Amino acid sequence: MEYGQLEQRLRSPGADRSRMEQVRVQTLARVREMFNAVVADATVIKCPRDWQDFNNTCYRFSTESGGWHNANRSCVLNNATLAILSSLGQQEYVMNYDREKRWIGLTDLEELGVYRWVNGDRLVTGYWALGEPNNAGVERCVTKGARFHPNKWNNDVCTTQHRWICQITRFDYAARHFGLEALLNQ
């Protein structure tokens, strides 16, 4: 049954709406699964121009500087987020890119002392420099690269000017590129 027919049946009187919704969700899940298989093939779907690919995630290392909120806004405008470094592999990848301080998507702006990623997840494993995080209530946003520990994290005043790192999964990038945003909400 085509999607248009499904939609027409859904609108007809007495339609089994819950069954139709179940079919719609299952269909989107199957399309998502097939699309994910295509995206996993790096020769088919690549990262946007000037973005770096690591483990099915695209990273953009900014050339401009700004405060954390400006960095976050810049990533969102590119349908991305500030980098979420939740694995050792991601941490090592961004640390090896350069030794510059860069904003990542971690703050304690919602609740003092409780660090959360921009997607709302609580920090589980951190890669803090010795003595960090410090200056509670003043330094609320996080950078990769600390002064004496360039491969670790530092909390900093959110208005300090740094470059930043944006990220988007190849799947999310491809879905948006092909107008399949419905797949992102599953």
List beta partners, residue 103. Answer: 143, 164
**CA–CA dist 146, 87 (Å, integer):** 19
Q: Let me know: does 94 contact 59? Beta carbons within 8 Å.
A: yes
- Is the confidence at residue 126, as pLDDT, over 80? yes
**CA–CA dist 149, 46 (Å, integer):** 33
Instruction: State the average pLDDT for the chain.
Output: 86
List beta partners, residue 155. Answer: 142
Q: Let me know: does 99 contact 145? Beta carbons within 8 Å.
A: yes
Longest alpha-carbon distance in the chain? 69
Which of 133-137, 138-142, 179-183 shows the lowest mean pLDDT across its residues? Answer: 179-183
pTM of the model: 0.77
The pLDDT, as a whole number, for residue 60 is: 97
Which of 159, 185, 182, 183 minimizes the C-alpha distance to 65? 159
Q: Let me know: does 165 contact 144? Beta carbons within 8 Å.
A: yes
CATH superfamily of domain region 52-170: Mannose-Binding Protein A, subunit A (3.10.100.10)
Query: What is the arithmetic mean of pLDDT over 52-64?
Result: 95
Domain locations in the chain?
Answer: 3-40, 52-170
- Is the confidence at residue 50, as pLDDT, over 80? yes
pLDDT digits (tens, 9 = 90+) for 171-182: 888 877 777 766
